[in-house]
Every structure is written in structure tokens, then in C-alpha cells.
A and B are shown apart, each in its own frame.
Chain A
Amino acid sequence: MNHIIKYPETHPLTWRLDTINKNPIWINEYHKKNGYSALKFMLNNMTPKDVINLVKDSELRGRGGAGFYTGIKWSLMPKKNNIPRYLLCNADEMEPGTYKDRLLLEQLPHQLLEGMIISGFAIEATMAYIFLRGEYISAENNLKKAIIEAENCGYLGRNILGSDFTFKIVLHTGAGRYICGEETALINSLEGKRANPRIKPPFPAIVGLWGKPTCVNNVETLSNIPAIVLNGSNWYKKISLSKDRGTKLMGFSGRVNNPGVWEVPFGISARELLEDYAKGMKKGFRLKAWQPGGAGTDFLTEKNLDVKMDFDSISKVGSRFGTGIAMAVDHTVNIVSLVLNLEKFFSRESCGLCTPCREGLPWIVKILQSFEDGFAQNEDINILEDLCVQLGPGKTVCAHAPGAMEPLQSAIKLFRSEFEQCIRKNSFSNIEMINKKNMFKLNL
């Protein structure tokens, strides 16, 4: 909503955005808008312990999808010794339907850098890597420029602003594969290995990058830090409408009138997001289902639209808040085809480490394809339901397979009849038609 006036106190993440030209906020503009004052304040007034306690008090939760408390994650880092330690910024945004980090990376690179420098100080790291998705070309260019600007102003490098804090940020770009966004897979990828997730424990805080203590935080999480340092944890707690603190980039995509991403307080209803921000469904289209936070979250329906957008409320209605970027499915979309598309993605992006994921996902794709082609058998729904359990939580090293099961299990639960209709089509004439189609293909 463009008519909303953004104040630093109400829109800490996005008030600096150039909403008209959508230009990146470079260092001069960032300085004019209070940029790097949180860093200066912190270096003069706070110890690493103070920063960790402040972030703990603020109850900031990770914005990558899992929602772990950032302050607690930081406090898991061992006491300072002579071993190097690392801060990693997870900028490998690839969850289908998610486009929030891209905005922060492309248009507010300095806000992220300031957040990273403060976070690096808090966990007493001297080195950080931004693991950026290779396809985010403008983000790469803008971050490169911003890092040089920050270095020239003395915000990065040796003895930052005359203090004894030394910090370096390196931009590392990937070469595809969704799984790199999983924090331990990200570490493996950064080490130049296949991006297979690692078994936890040991957690990255103890054994991370090159075996050293490592903290991995999402772009949006880190971008929240400067405002918390400047305005304090009480302010941060008060700006939300729910138990989850602060603001969150939320969005709606699909056949809505105004698809986009907006900074809103936690706890606004999904209906408000859909109707006020996304301006409702396009003319002639009805809402059939929606995913609250990315491809790996359970479908909800119109009945759930009054749910509060926060971690607890969304899980109470049977889904997951995830990345908070919602997707509307309209009535023209066949749910079986949609789930087939989602499972093809998960199947293609499985790293192949765990058997249930490596073998189960292609199997699911095959079964769903048979539903779409009209020759699924009655028991195939049961097989799918069984696979939802076999690929569910606890069966694999990481959350890739369980995430892939969320849309499938909820689609079967909510739209079972659409799956059954595919079976009923299964008649002799249908099989004949498929045979003809295949013959036609061969003749070509």
C-alpha cells in the first residue's frame, strides 16, 4: 500500500526504501537516513554480551522459515578463544513463492551490512560470508558496491571506527541447488563440497565452517538488528500485534490484484493481507486454497483467512508460517496438477543423501503424474498417504522431505475428491487414449 507513510519506528526494515524509483539506497542516502548510527552507538556503548542480551530480550525469531530465536542461537556460540569463528548470512533464497530477501539485498544492501557487522561483533567473529544465490545478479552487483563503500568509510576492515573490532565480509555466490539454503548444507557448499546437510548435533555453533564455531542467519533476520540496537527491545516487542515480535516482510502472490511484499507487524490477519494489501482476488477468480509461507507449507483454505499471521497461530490451524510470503491458489487451478508441480520441484532439488527423500520423491511424482494422466489406481491415494508418513519428520537428515510432504498431505486432506476424480476417469477408453497418445509420440 503506497499511501502508507513509513516511519523508522513502524517500518524499521523498509522505511528507507525509494518507493518511487526503486533505486538501491547507497551510502550517502543511507547516512542521511540514520544509517550506521546503530553501529556507532554499539561500538561506543555496548559489549558483545550486551548485544546478545538485547537481541535475546527482543525475542527476535529467525526469518528464514524455522523461526528459531536469534539471541538464543547467538548465545550457543562458545566462549571466545583463539579459534576463528564465522558469521554466515544465508542469502540463498530459492523457496518457490518467496521473494522477500531479494528486496532487502537489492535495495537495502547497507542495512544488511550494518546488521551483519553488529551481529559479527556480538558473536565475536572477525569474518563473515554472504552466501548469495548465483541467479540474484543485481543483488550481487549491489552488495559488491555496498561492501566497497562500507570499507571506504571504515565500517569494515581493521579497527572499525577506531575500536579494536576487526571484521571482514566476503560475498560468495552459489551455482544453483535449493538445498544450499539449509544451514548445514550451506556450510558444506561454502567449503566446496556437495550441498548435503550434516547430521546435528554437533550444531554449527560448535562445529561449523571448516570445523569452527559458526552462526548462520537469514538476510531478513540480520536486517532487523540495527533498528533493535537503536530503539531497544521494548520498542521491538511493542510494534507487533502478537507474541512474535517486530515486523515481518509478508506478501501474497498468485491471481490477486496487487501481488507484492509489504512490511507489516506480526499478527495481522491473512485476510487483511489478502484484501487490503493484495487488493483481493482478480475479477472472476475465487480463492480455493493458500500457502502461508512458501512451497513447503501446508495448504489452508478460505476458512482460515482470519488466522493471525505469526508462527504459533498458523501452526494451530495446521500449517507453518515459513517465510511468511503467501500464495493464493484460485479456483481454476487443479490441485493435483499443482501438487505435481510442487513435488517435481522437491524431487529435482533433493540432494540425494537420504533414501526416503531420494527415492520417495520421484516415486511420488510418478504417482501424481498417473493421477494427472488419468490412470491412477484406487490404492494410489493410500500409497501417497503412506509416503507422507515415510518421508515425514524424523526420517531424513534435513527438513527437505518433510517440507515436501506438507503440501501433499494437506492437499489430500482438503481436496480428496479431486484426487478421486482422477481415478474415476480411469476407464478402458481412457487407457486406449493414452496408448494412442504414446503411439503418436513414437511416430513423431
Chain B
Amino acid sequence: MNMMKNKLNDLELKKIEEEKKNYEDNKSISIEALKIVQSSRGWVSDELITEISKILNISESQLEEIATFYSQIYRKPVGYNIIKYCDSVVCYMMGSDNIKCKLENILKIKIGQTTNDNKFTLLPISCLGNCDKAPVIMINNKTYSNIKISYIPILLEKY
């Protein structure tokens, strides 16, 4: 079972191969390959870094350099759902600190942590480009705008 977890599956391999035809150089697929692997597993383990680097024929350190630079690639386990609250300037003025506190209180975790039941990870994110509807949070792939503190418990129940 553990062996499977540390290998790329057929679908992932197919998707990565698919990407190769769009670029002059395999290195360009690094980010996309990491995202493909992360999309089903939540995060990218050391073993998977090795696996991906083999497929792309680049060194592990080159891939690690990418994986640790970009903020949306996770090199540590994360919860099943990822809550990103926008902490940039407009959301800040419109009360993102209160939203952060409310989330921390409900989930009983601090920024960067995962709940005990592994359901949620809380992370900050830079401006989500929805400033006319601030404050904004993003849960997984969905963006929620004009957030009020009172909405938060109801919103979290959906997940």
C-alpha cells in the first residue's frame, strides 16, 4: 500500500506526458507536474519529488527548488480542505483580521496548522483579485466574497 502511495499512478503519468508536448523543455512542466500530483494527494512527499524528477529527467534538487519556492505547492501534509483567507490591503481594511480570528476560533488552530480531524488547513493568501467584493476567502477552488463573520460557521458546515 505504501509503495503505491509513493509511486505515480497511470492517470498522473498520462497527464504529465500530455503536458510535455506543449513545451520546448521538460523543466517547464515542473510546476504543472507538482500540481497534478498534489491535486489528488493534497501535498507532495519527498518520495514523489524523486518520482517526478525521474519522469521529467531533471535533478531532484532542481525540482525541490521549484516545489519550495511557489507558495501553492505543499511539501507538508495538509487537511482535506484548504481555507485561504486574503490578507492583502483591501481585505485588511474591510476586516480580514476578524475573519482570521473567527476561523482560528472555530477551527481551534492557528495560521498554517491543520485541524485534529484533518478536515481543514488554514493559510493566508495574497490578493485574490476580488477587492470590490472584499473581504474574500477561498476554500479549495471556490472563492467566497463579501464575507461576514456570521457567515463563516454556515460556510464551513458545507465542507
Contacts and interface: CB of A to CB of B under 8 A. Distances in A.
Given A97-B88, A135-B125, A189-B31, A102 B130 contact: yes
Contacts of B127: 94-98, 295, 345
Nearest to B138: A135
B133 interface: yes
Interface in B96-111: none
Contacts of B84: 135
Contact of A96 (B25, B27, B73, B89): B89
Interface string A333-353: 100001001101100110100
Given A134-B35, A192-B27, A97 B72 contact: no
A174 B89 contact: no
A289 to B, nearest CB: 11
Nearest to A140: B141
A295 B88 contact: yes
Contacts of B70: 174-177, 195
A177 B25 contact: no
Interface string A297-339: 0000000000000000000000000000101011001000010
Given A193-B27, A327-B90, A338-B89, A101 B129 contact: yes
A99 B132 contact: yes
Contacts of A134: 35, 72
Nearest to A139: B129
A177 B125 contact: no
Interface string A238-256: 0000000000000101110
A330 B89 CA distance: 13
A174 B31 contact: yes
B118 interface: no
Contact of B129 (A136, A193, A254, A342): A136
A253 B25 contact: no
Interface residues of A, number: 52
A190 interface: yes
Contacts of A178: 126
A255 B34 contact: no
Interface in B58-92: 58, 65-66, 69-73, 84, 87-90, 92
26 contacts: A94-B126, A97-B88, A101-B129, A133-B129, A134-B35, A135-B72, A137-B141, A174-B72, A175-B34, A175-B35, A176-B70, A176-B125, A177-B69, A177-B71, A192-B28, A192-B29, A192-B30, A194-B69, A253-B90, A261-B132, A327-B131, A330-B93, A338-B89, A338-B92, A345-B88, A345-B127
Given A174-B70, A345-B88, A338 B93 contact: yes
Interface of B: 22-32, 34-35, 58, 65-66, 69-73, 84, 87-90, 92-94, 125-134, 138, 141-143
B35 A173 contact: yes
B149 to A, nearest CB: 17
Contacts of A172: 22, 32
Interface centre among B70, B73, B131, B142 (most CB of A within 10 A): B131
A221 to B, nearest CB: 17
Contacts of B128: 135
Contacts of A254: 90, 93-94
B72 A176 contact: yes
B126 A96 contact: yes
Q: From DSSP, what is the main secondary structure of chain B's interface residues?
A: mixed
Interface in A76-124: 84, 93-99, 101-102
A292 interface: no
Given A174-B31, A251-B132, A259-B131, A96 B90 contact: yes
B35 A99 contact: no
A210 interface: yes
A383 interface: no
A192 B131 contact: no
Contacts of A84: 24
Contacts of B132: 99, 251, 253, 259-261
A191 interface: yes
A197 to B, nearest CB: 13
A66 interface: no
A389 interface: no
Contacts of B90: 96-97, 253-254, 327
B94 to A, nearest CB: 8
Given A96-B126, A102-B129, A170-B22, A327 B72 contact: no
B1 to A, nearest CB: 29
B70 to A, nearest CB: 4
Contact of A327 (B27, B28, B89): B89
A259 B143 CA distance: 18
